[in-house]
Amino acid sequence: MHWFKYALALLSLVGFWFAGLLLSQFIALPASLLGLLLLLLALMWLKQIPSALLRVSQFVLGHMLVLFVPATMGILLFGEKLAGNLWWLVLTIIISTVISLGITAWIAQRHWQNHEPADIPIEDHDD
């Protein structure tokens, strides 16, 4: 019966993505981001992370490299076009990464100065 809990957890992740896809028709944000925000709100409402959802999400994150295969194929197919703008692409990636890391570090530092880290209870029922 363990497989049913894990299938339901995977189905819930896909369901939140689909809900984000529907919501993205009305809000100008990517469907995956909206789905993650909906999942965050649901987990905040539950005040716990179900163990099956935790295990399924860890498995999916562990195998995320498979999700980058289409992007790799795009690079192979359009390599000549990308090669002409390689320096601009590298410069843009470096600058955007530095800016993103800086903003994230600044927000995290401000947050941790004002709050103690909270322990999130994890439901552990492996019946």
**pLDDT tens-digit profile of 86-98?**
899 899 999 999 9
Give 49's strand partners: 122
Domain range spanning residue 88? Answer: 70-114
The dihedral sign for the CA sequence 43, 62, 70, 8? negative
The H-assigned helical ranges of 31-85 are 31-46, 51-62, 69-77, 79-83
Task: Determine the 3-state secondary structure of 122 from DSSP.
Answer: strand
pLDDT at 127 over 60: no
Note whether 25 and 46 are same-domain residues: yes
Note whether 57 and 77 are same-domain residues: no
pTM higher than 0.85 for the full model? no
Note whether 47 and 88 are same-domain residues: no
Note whether 58 and 83 are same-domain residues: no
Name which residue leads in pLDDT, 88 or 65: 88
